[in-house]
Amino acid sequence: GENVEQHPSTLSVQEGDSAVIKCTYSDSASNYFPWYKQELGKRPQLIIDIRSNVGEKKDQRIAVTLNKTAKHFSLHITETQPEDSAVYFCAANSNSGGSNYKLTFGKGTLLTVNP
């Protein structure tokens, strides 16, 4: 089955700096890679995703890159703000029961943005 590794497990940055979180996956058939943000005590929320037919996607201060050859993808947050502090999860889809809807999640990265 799919295996998703996420690094680092914790990341502390100063407000205004950039933050980068990296993930690797094992299933070469994976074609969907979402990122979720989870604030303390809240639900995971989808913030951005990328599909295997593109190498990069950007939405304001966040961007994702995908390298299918190397099987890794990354989340980039620029001009970080204290409200960006949360746990970020990457995920990759895989085939299960004949469909590709199953998501396997990384273990998460606790991002702290210091004012």
Partner 1 sequence: DAGVIQSPRHEVTEMGQEVTLRCKPISGHNSLFWYRQTMMRGLELLIYFNNNVPIDDSGMPEDRFSAKMPNASFSTLKIQPSEPRDSAVYFCASSPPGTLYEQYFGPGTRLTVT
Residues that bind partner 1 (CB under 8 A): 32, 34, 36, 42-46, 49, 51, 89, 93, 96-108
CB of 107 to partner 1, least distance (A): 5
In Å, the largest CA–CA distance within the chain is: 47
Pick 40 or 70: Cβ nearer partner 1: 40
C-beta separation of 82 from 73 below 8 A: no
Amino acid letter for position 5: E
Query: Minimum Å distance from CB 108 to partner 1?
Result: 6
Contacts of 3 (CB under 8 A, 6+ apart): 25, 26, 27, 104
Give min distance, CB of 73 to partner 1, in A: 15
